[in-house]
Amino acid sequence: MLGQTIAAIATPPGVGGIGIIRISGGEALSVLQRVFRPAAAGDESVFTPRRLYLGRVQNAADESLDQALAVYMPAPHSYTGEDVAEIQCHGGYVVCREVLAAVLAAGAVPAEPGEFTARAFINGKMSLDQAEAVIDLIEAKSAEALKISERQLDGSLQRKIAALADQLLSLLAELELLIDYPDEATEPPAERLASELNAACDTVRRLMAQAREGRLYREGALTAIVGPANAGKSTLLNALLEEERSIVTPIPGTTRDTVEEYYVLGGLPLKLVDTAGIRDTEDPVEQAGIARSKRAMAMADLILVVLDAAAPLDAFWRGVIAENAARPLFLLLNKCDTARHETLAAELAVLAPGVQVLPISAKSGKGLHTLKEAVREMLLTSGDDEPLSGLINERQRAALLQAEEALSQAAAGLELCFDAEILSVDLQTAWQALAEISGQAVADDIIERVFSRFCLGK
């Protein structure tokens, strides 16, 4: 739809103080002039760029729809890099739809989801990874995730990728010169080549190491709260959320389905899943809840096993703990303020050596601060003090992996012998992978998939 002037409502549907209709394309100013009448006396066709005008929106029948504000931003200094106009009307559902209808009747066409940002990418206003940061910023689940997304939108990741790509291009230029003019060009020192390849590999690996944390900040760390029936799982969820989200009773089997809530722990969002107590039961409804509990545990980034400190550990839970001991796991001895837990703690230390055993009281709050600190430390394990460059997603991680493999192959080949042509192929593969991250060289279907995540108006 490039070449056409597009329009959409840029604010969420529903009732609000302000609704924004965004227009972008070569006819943006003409469309604005057809529907907007400034209140100030003067030439109604003149809109000084980036000045806000008060006036009224008119439809094709010259009927007034709403009092509004309007602004015109000519290319290239706009979000999309095209001529852009915005109308800020009152935020009712009907008024926004009517104003949009007037804009479309004046010559604009409906925008596709994400089309404004797609045009910004096509017009060089942002790289593809910066465009992805826009949706991550919109969907941020914590203030820290918001900061990281803004950092990426500001070009933090793009600058690192660009510097690395430039380094590879410089090496490629040396190799191509040697391939084309073998009698005239000088072979670069193998030690320097090896050093630069290893440094490039290290940079890529550091970025790849950030991908897991990026996913946790973007999606929330899936945290399964599991344990025997009536061990205090729902009480723990309510204590963490500081509200009664799950029903708590002395009756085993009260929680029959998973209950999911987001909880922000020191900037890191956790997707807490309170699961049904896993036990032998003939109740089909409870059995379905138990099956969901097992699925949540299998998919979890972190497992919190809540055990009654006063109850003996049965064979089933011994097996579950032993089977999952190598995963991110905490064994929580609940009700520690009313029961002695030393015997159970000693048994667990033998059953799952290396797994943290923490005495807590979900009811009184005892031990919860220690638990929170331990959870954050376990999940954020990159060991890199450098701030995250962005919320590196699966597409970007796959491209980084491809670049790392090509660079490792080049370094390994260089140790055997110097072959400019083989080295050149590996470096071109690595550069191509990096170019996919920024969008310099990327397939159309990938671009479409990226922007399909966006909503209308963005």
- To the question of whether residue 323 is assigned a binding role by annotation, the answer is no
Residue ranges of domains in the chain, CATH in brackets: 6-126 (3.30.1360.120), 143-215+391-451 (1.20.120.430), 219-379 (3.40.50.300)
277-302 pLDDT, tens digit each: 665 556 666 666 667 777 888 899 99
Helix (H, G, I), strand (E, B) or coil at 271: strand
Please say whether the beta carbons of 300 and 222 come within 8 A: yes
- To the question of whether residue 148 is assigned a binding role by annotation, the answer is no
- To the question of whether residue 254 is assigned a binding role by annotation, the answer is yes
- To the question of whether residue 349 is assigned a binding role by annotation, the answer is no
Mean pLDDT of 189-214: 88
CB atoms within 10 A of CB 127: 21
Taking the whole predicted model, whether its pTM rises above 0.85 is answered as no
What rounded mean pLDDT belongs to the chain?
A: 87
- To the question of whether residue 441 is assigned a binding role by annotation, the answer is no
Mean pLDDT of 391-397: 91
Please say whether the beta carbons of 272 and 289 come within 8 A: no
Tell me the sheet residues that pair with 429.
Answer: none
Please say whether the beta carbons of 337 and 364 come within 8 A: yes
DSSP conformational letter for 455: P
Alpha helices in 328-441, H assignment, sequence order: 342-351, 368-379, 394-416, 420-438
Distance CA 133, CA 153 (A): 5
- To the question of whether residue 335 is assigned a binding role by annotation, the answer is no
Q: Which of 362, 382, 363 is nearest to 372 (CA)?
A: 362
Distance CA 430, CA 210 (A): 19
- To the question of whether residue 249 is assigned a binding role by annotation, the answer is yes
Mean pLDDT of 194-222: 90
Residue 154 has pLDDT above 80, yes or no: yes
- To the question of whether residue 230 is assigned a binding role by annotation, the answer is yes
- To the question of whether residue 19 is assigned a binding role by annotation, the answer is no
- To the question of whether residue 346 is assigned a binding role by annotation, the answer is no
19-77 pLDDT, tens digit each: 999 999 999 999 999 999 999 866 666 799 999 999 999 999 999 999 999 999 999 99
Mean pLDDT of 428-455: 87
Residue 162 pLDDT grade (very low, low, confident, very high; cuts 50, 70, 90): very high
At 247 the pLDDT is 40
- To the question of whether residue 234 is assigned a binding role by annotation, the answer is yes
- To the question of whether residue 266 is assigned a binding role by annotation, the answer is no
Residue 339 has pLDDT above 70, yes or no: no
Please say whether the beta carbons of 324 and 297 come within 8 A: yes
- To the question of whether residue 253 is assigned a binding role by annotation, the answer is yes
Please report the DSSP string for 1-48 in residue order: -TTS-EEEE-S-SS-EEEEEEEEESTTHHHHHHHHEEESSSS-TT---
Q: Is 75 exposed, middle or buried (0-12, 13-18, 19+ CB in 10 A)?
A: middle
At 44 the pLDDT is 63
Residue 209 pLDDT grade (very low, low, confident, very high; cuts 50, 70, 90): confident
Residue 335 pLDDT grade (very low, low, confident, very high; cuts 50, 70, 90): confident
- To the question of whether residue 22 is assigned a binding role by annotation, the answer is yes
In the Cβ-directed half-sphere of 442, how many Cα atoms lie within 13 Å?
22
Q: Which two tokens stand for residue 284?
A: 């089909």
Mean pLDDT of 117-121: 94
Distance CA 155, CA 136 (A): 14
Mean pLDDT of 373-384: 81
